[in-house]
Chains A and B, each alone.
Chain A
């Protein structure tokens, strides 16, 4: 009988001094994998223009109907994205989203990307609908933000760089 109790104490003692797996969140954060599907972000090009061209293919691909897109026309005086079209309204309802990443796959310009932010708690259901201003990343250092004024004829094509898939 004593031996069993002693064995138990020995086990406890051994484990007590092993390094713990627990991390002190939120002061320490565990890094996520490269493919982690967290909160969405709308990306920009290096020159500050938004990648999103308002095509709504993400909304079409979404199995949960979580994305709402409205498109508008770019002008050279007020340019948001390259080409003729940009998304004037872009909303994602995180309550519907299942974080499958189909929107990311569907996007022709790699604009919508699921990033690593998983801290998505909200206290009001309305806060779950994130709008474009919250989705859009900030422009790179030194780059203008959108809308920007550009030289006519410089960004006429919606997809400026084309890599041959082969």
Chain B
């Protein structure tokens, strides 16, 4: 056991690891020392002075260093003349802390009185009312009457948009601010976005943003959780509802493979015609996944669920037009045609579907001999089931990014983590700061480089050869560091690669892990930075990843698209579709418009199910709002189709399907919803009686999830295999377009969140200054980008972040982008501005 220190707090003895702060030690014995500026995830500053307590230390003789004993032979404890802040004082053996004395009670009353002198009388109009630490602590420790003259209160700006008046996501009320610096410290220490700071001094001190656009951080919403007053509030939830009027439902964010645990706060309201609607998204504490944070996409990107454009009834094509039909009619038509198609049925599912949906889909399709595929651009899912991160069945503790530090190597290749999986970026950064050896390999600089011990720059398309090179002994210091590390994790993405390239890269990464013996145990393995939430689940359930292409559908007589829109993405055209196409979707997408039958699906927030995160953790989500119209959960639809075809014998309810998965898929053996919903006390304790100690992040009472054991852990011996990617032709003097990911895009699940639109960039291309000078492009110019298939109009951004000869083109902003790197030409647009 690490060094334990025993001390007494208000008469209760407690033993904690050396270095623990008094506030945390007290929390362990349910002694809530009030705090404002302290947060267990931030470095303590001792600014607010709310946690002042009496601290007595064992007295030592100055000369001899011996402990002074009293008459009874016990160490004498001497109390200092001043109170000390519990949040900055580490525990010492034999320390006596007193929080329950008159002196401390008076001190707490005094500090609260000071904070309330200029605090505005805003409780009735403040969004924080009802979940406000200042309110709670005032009622518990503070004065009942004010002695401060109302007219002399310091007045300040209220309702300041941090950003422009039309694009602020967060509003600042400077009068309510109690200058605790939690927001500035979060931005500096955790998000590493130095966009918020103090301005002025003394009573005039206030928060200001220093970025353009204001508060330019993908994690800005977290400050509204940890702000102890209503100074920082989101524009999304402004005046939404009172906290006690909200119902909470646990969920999992479905934008990226991290699988952040979230909570939906819902209310049935008159504004929405009596419907129950989602008012906001908050993080849910899961120390092994997202701790107490979520990114702004997860926080503000839920509006698509309630979009009026949602499909609400099945549609069937009659006389060339899609008309509403009943479920019976639609399902009968589908089942008959699919059964007749048999092995000529091709099913393509998107990675946003839950485990239950994908399983039911696979059973139905393969039950009649068809091909059930995952339509995704990143291969390697099958490899992650073998050499993916392990649950530690033999060691007890699974893979947890929050536990790694010195002794672990993390390799991030071909991925811009901050844009693709922000919470992984946050956790990898924290791991690097704790001493993990971070190696970042990419063709261009990304934000992850800042914390890397080794930054490996290769030419576009050379990711695979770079990885393969790491297997050569002594080839580089980063290869050696990786091989010699006790534990190693590899995150791989698809930047600079086409689909075949990603397959090769995944194999190369797997080879590296196998050769360096970093498989089959916890804190080791391969993680794919998937483009969707449940691609890992699809892999675990045995679906093969094959992106939709004309070749895939060449021999098909029927196609079933579930949660994927290849026509909208430009990967298929109408003529590629087989004679009978069924689309199961939330919206009437381009593919749906060309379909013969359209089945309306329920969104994940309207039903229950499970997702498997990229770290192979199965997590459960619960329904938050009722499903609209006649929509049904995907797994139910798939099971009904399967039943009608005689291919499926289980019912469509998610819990049932999950039991079926546990019965048939070895990795899921022994699991059920109860196991996945198990909770355990977490540290730091941001819930409990003193819920706002850690922020508004809600207590996790609905499940921590279960990590699946990898095949390697279960006994399979992983084998290395050939990993080759053809060299990419990039003649000198030509330009290569490199598609890159952007967190904020115009995708179907993010576009309805109009409040974030000002932060979604207009389509642009990033070009190196040397190339820009040669072509005659200046920063901000409108440019014509000529790709193989079409020419698109974009804004030119001249930056050294783009390597010479390479154009960075973000995906998903509304202009066609190639699948992988492709040659291109760019010139200043000939259009004259009107």
A and B in direct contact, judged by CB atoms within 8 A? yes
Known contacts: A70-B269, A84-B159, A91-B270. The answer to whether A60 contacts B125 by CB under 8 A is: no
* Chain A hits for B121, CB < 8 A: 159, 162
Interface centre among B242, B269, B271 (most CB of A within 10 A): B242
A45 → B minimal CB distance (Å): 16
User: Among B129, B150, B159, B242, which residue has its beta carbon within 8 angstroms of that of A164?
Assistant: B150
- Look across to chain A and name the residue whose beta carbon is closest to the beta carbon of B268: A68
Contact with A along B341-370 (1 / 0, CB 8 A): 000000000000000000000000000000
B234 → A minimal CB distance (Å): 13
Known contacts: A53-B124, A55-B124. The answer to whether A85 contacts B270 by CB under 8 A is: no
B663 within 8 A of A: no
B329 within 8 A of A: no
B158 → A minimal CB distance (Å): 7
Within 8 A of B (CB), among A78-106: 83-85, 88-89, 91
Contact with A along B267-306 (1 / 0, CB 8 A): 0011100000000000000000000000000000000000
Residues B158 and A72 in contact, CB atoms below 8 Å apart? no
Q: What 3 A-B pairs come out closest when comparing CB atoms?
A: A55-B124, A71-B239, A85-B125
Interface centre among A83, A84, A88, A109 (most CB of B within 10 A): A84
* Chain B hits for A108, CB < 8 A: 123-124
Q: With contacts A162-B121, A162-B150 known, what are 16 further pairs, Cβ within 8 A?
A: A53-B125, A55-B125, A55-B129, A57-B124, A59-B242, A70-B271, A73-B239, A85-B124, A85-B239, A88-B271, A89-B269, A108-B123, A108-B124, A158-B122, A158-B125, A159-B121
* Chain A hits for B122, CB < 8 A: 158
B321 within 8 A of A: no
Distance between Cα atoms of A57 and B150 in the complex (Å): 23
A-B contact pairs, 14 of them (CB 8 A): A53-B124, A56-B242, A59-B245, A60-B242, A68-B270, A70-B271, A85-B124, A85-B125, A89-B270, A89-B271, A108-B124, A109-B124, A162-B121, A164-B150
- Look across to chain A and name the residue whose beta carbon is closest to the beta carbon of B120: A157
Within 8 A of A (CB), among B794-823: none
* Chain A hits for B244, CB < 8 A: 60
Residues B245 and A156 in contact, CB atoms below 8 Å apart? no
- Look across to chain A and name the residue whose beta carbon is closest to the beta carbon of B270: A89
A54 within 8 A of B: yes
* Chain B hits for A85, CB < 8 A: 124-125, 239
Identify the A interface with B (CB < 8 A). Answer: 53-57, 59-60, 68, 70-73, 83-85, 88-89, 91, 108-109, 156, 158-159, 162, 164
A52 → B minimal CB distance (Å): 10
B140 within 8 A of A: no
B238 within 8 A of A: yes
* Chain B hits for A88, CB < 8 A: 271
Distance between Cα atoms of A15 and B605 in the complex (Å): 75
* Chain B hits for A56, CB < 8 A: 242, 245
Residues A84 and B158 in contact, CB atoms below 8 Å apart? yes
Known contacts: A55-B125, A60-B244, A84-B125. The answer to whether A72 contacts B270 by CB under 8 A is: no
A135 → B minimal CB distance (Å): 14
Distance between Cα atoms of A94 and B693 in the complex (Å): 40
User: Among B125, B241, B242, which residue has its beta carbon within 8 angstroms of that of A83?
Assistant: B125
Contact with A along B118-157 (1 / 0, CB 8 A): 0001111100011000000000000000000010000000
* Chain B hits for A54, CB < 8 A: 125, 239
Distance between Cα atoms of A164 and B123 in the complex (Å): 18
Distance between Cα atoms of A159 and B120 in the complex (Å): 11
Distance between Cα atoms of A160 and B124 in the complex (Å): 14
Residues A158 and B159 in contact, CB atoms below 8 Å apart? no
- Look across to chain B and name the residue whose beta carbon is closest to the beta carbon of A54: B239
Distance between Cα atoms of A14 and B262 in the complex (Å): 81
Distance between Cα atoms of A160 and B663 in the complex (Å): 67
Residues A156 and B158 in contact, CB atoms below 8 Å apart? yes
Distance between Cα atoms of A123 and B685 in the complex (Å): 54
- Look across to chain B and name the residue whose beta carbon is closest to the beta carbon of A106: B124
B229 → A minimal CB distance (Å): 16
Interface centre among B238, B239, B242 (most CB of A within 10 A): B239
* Chain B hits for A71, CB < 8 A: 239
Residues A72 and B124 in contact, CB atoms below 8 Å apart? no
- Look across to chain A and name the residue whose beta carbon is closest to the beta carbon of B159: A84
* Chain A hits for B270, CB < 8 A: 68, 70, 89, 91
Known contacts: A54-B239, A68-B270, A89-B270. The answer to whether A158 contacts B158 by CB under 8 A is: no
A128 → B minimal CB distance (Å): 16
- Look across to chain A and name the residue whose beta carbon is closest to the beta carbon of B271: A70
* Chain B hits for A156, CB < 8 A: 158
B174 → A minimal CB distance (Å): 13
B471 → A minimal CB distance (Å): 60
Distance between Cα atoms of A59 and B91 in the complex (Å): 46
* Chain A hits for B129, CB < 8 A: 55
- Look across to chain A and name the residue whose beta carbon is closest to the beta carbon of B150: A162
* Chain A hits for B123, CB < 8 A: 55, 108
B510 → A minimal CB distance (Å): 54
A12 → B minimal CB distance (Å): 60
* Chain B hits for A68, CB < 8 A: 270
Distance between Cα atoms of A158 and B158 in the complex (Å): 12
A23 → B minimal CB distance (Å): 41
A150 → B minimal CB distance (Å): 16
Distance between Cα atoms of A39 and B238 in the complex (Å): 31
Distance between Cα atoms of A73 and B123 in the complex (Å): 16
- Look across to chain A and name the residue whose beta carbon is closest to the beta carbon of B171: A84
A79 → B minimal CB distance (Å): 14
Within 8 A of A (CB), among B237-258: 238-239, 241-242, 244-245
Distance between Cα atoms of A56 and B267 in the complex (Å): 14
Residues B238 and A73 in contact, CB atoms below 8 Å apart? yes
Distance between Cα atoms of A14 and B123 in the complex (Å): 64
- Look across to chain B and name the residue whose beta carbon is closest to the beta carbon of A87: B239
B591 → A minimal CB distance (Å): 38
User: Among A89, A158, A164, which residue has its beta carbon within 8 angstroms of that of B124?
Assistant: A158
B237 → A minimal CB distance (Å): 11
Known contacts: A59-B245, A88-B271. The answer to whether A72 contacts B239 by CB under 8 A is: yes
Within 8 A of A (CB), among B220-239: 238-239
Distance between Cα atoms of A88 and B240 in the complex (Å): 11
Distance between Cα atoms of A109 and B125 in the complex (Å): 11
Distance between Cα atoms of A96 and B238 in the complex (Å): 29
* Chain A hits for B271, CB < 8 A: 70, 88-89
Distance between Cα atoms of A59 and B242 in the complex (Å): 10
Contact with A along B448-492 (1 / 0, CB 8 A): 000000000000000000000000000000000000000000000
Distance between Cα atoms of A31 and B258 in the complex (Å): 68
* Chain A hits for B269, CB < 8 A: 70, 89
Interface centre among A55, A162, A164 (most CB of B within 10 A): A55
B464 → A minimal CB distance (Å): 54
B435 → A minimal CB distance (Å): 47
Distance between Cα atoms of A57 and B124 in the complex (Å): 7
- Look across to chain B and name the residue whose beta carbon is closest to the beta carbon of A156: B158
Distance between Cα atoms of A11 and B124 in the complex (Å): 63
- Look across to chain A and name the residue whose beta carbon is closest to the beta carbon of B269: A70
Distance between Cα atoms of A92 and B270 in the complex (Å): 13
A101 → B minimal CB distance (Å): 18
Distance between Cα atoms of A68 and B150 in the complex (Å): 32
Distance between Cα atoms of A54 and B129 in the complex (Å): 13
* Chain A hits for B239, CB < 8 A: 54, 71-73, 85
B741 → A minimal CB distance (Å): 35
B148 → A minimal CB distance (Å): 11
B610 → A minimal CB distance (Å): 34
Distance between Cα atoms of A158 and B159 in the complex (Å): 13
A29 → B minimal CB distance (Å): 34
Distance between Cα atoms of A109 and B121 in the complex (Å): 12
* Chain B hits for A162, CB < 8 A: 121, 150
Distance between Cα atoms of A73 and B122 in the complex (Å): 15
* Chain A hits for B245, CB < 8 A: 56, 59
* Chain A hits for B242, CB < 8 A: 56, 59-60
* Chain B hits for A72, CB < 8 A: 239
Distance between Cα atoms of A91 and B268 in the complex (Å): 14
Distance between Cα atoms of A34 and B125 in the complex (Å): 30
